[in-house]
Amino acid sequence: MRIIGTGSSLPSKTVTNQDLMEFLDTSDEWISSRTGIRERRVLSNESLLQLAFGASKAALEDAKLSPDQIDYILCSTVQGEWVTPGLGCIVQRELGASCPALDLNGACAGFIYALDMADALLKAGKAKRVVIVCAEAMSRIVDWTRRETSVLFGDGAGAVVVDGGEGLLSIRLTTRGDSEILHMRAPTGNSPFEGNPAGQDFLHMAGQEVYRFAVGACVEDLRALMGETGLTAGSIDYFLLHQANLRILEAVRSRMGEPPEKFPHNLERTGNTSSATIPILMDELNRSGALKPGQTLALAAFGAGLVNGACLIRWNP
Angle, in degrees to the nearest 10, between helices 87-95 and 48-62: 50
27, 48 contact by CB (below 8 A): no
Q: What is the 3-state secondary structure (H, E, C) of 224-293?
A: HHHHHHCCCHHHCCEEEECCCCHHHHHHHHHHHCCCHHHCCCCHHHHCECHHHHHHHHHHHHHHHCCCCC
Options 100-108, 138-146, 149-157, 203-211: segment touching another protein (CB under 8 A): 203-211
Task: Verify binding: residue 207, another protein, rule CB under 8 A.
Answer: yes
Verify binding: residue 45, another protein, rule CB under 8 A: no
- Identify which of residues 20 and 218 has a Cβ nearer to another protein in the complex: 218
Q: Residue 15 and residue 39: Cα distance in Å, rounded? A: 6
Q: CB 45: neighbour CB atoms within 10 A?
A: 8
Span interacting with another protein, options 52-60, 120-128, 177-185, 206-214, rule CB under 8 A: 206-214
H or E stretch including 159?
strand 155-163
Q: Cα torsion at 61, 63, 65, 67 (round to 10°)? A: -70
Question: How many Cβ atoms sit within 10 Å of the Cβ of residue 66?
Answer: 12
Closest CA to 305 of 211, 158, 184, 215: 184
Query: Quick one: 22 or 180, whose CB is closer to another protein?
Result: 180
Of the residues 75, 108, 134, 311, which is catalytic? Answer: 108
Q: Is the Cβ of residue 202 or residue 211 nearer to another protein in the bound state? A: 211
The smaller minimum CB distance to another protein, of residues 165 and 216, is found at 216
* Of the candidate residues 93, 146, 212, 314, the single one contacting another protein (CB under 8 A): 212
Stretch in the footprint of another protein (CB under 8 A) among 120-128, 158-166, 202-210, 298-306: 202-210
Residue 49 or 251 having the CB closest to another protein: 251
Kindly state the smallest distance separating residue 19's Cβ from another protein, in Å: 23
Query: How far is it, in rounded angstroms, from Cα 295 to Cα 231?
Result: 12
Total site size for another protein, rule CB under 8 A: 12
Catalytic option among 75, 242, 286, 311: 242
Between 4 and 210, CB nearer to another protein: 210
Q: Would you count residue 146 as binding another protein (CB under 8 A)? A: no
Which of 54-62, 181-189, 243-251, 308-316 is the region at the interface with another protein (rule: CB under 8 A)? 243-251
Q: Residue 32 interacts with another protein (CB under 8 A)?
A: no
Q: How many CB atoms lie within 10 A of CB 184?
A: 18
Three-state secondary structure along 131-158?
EEEEEEEHHHCCCCCCHHHHCCECEEEE
108 is catalytic: yes
Query: What is the closest distance, in whole angstroms, from the C-beta atom of residue 215 to another protein in the complex?
Result: 6
**Shortest CB 207 distance to another protein, Å:** 6
Q: Are 256 and 248 in contact (CB under 8 A)?
A: no
What CA–CA distance (Å, rounded) separates 86 from 95? 15
| Residue 130 touching another protein (CB under 8 A) | no
Whether 272 is catalytic: yes
Active-site amino acid positions: 108, 242, 272
List contacts with another protein (CB under 8 A). 33-34, 207-209, 211-212, 215-216, 245, 247, 251
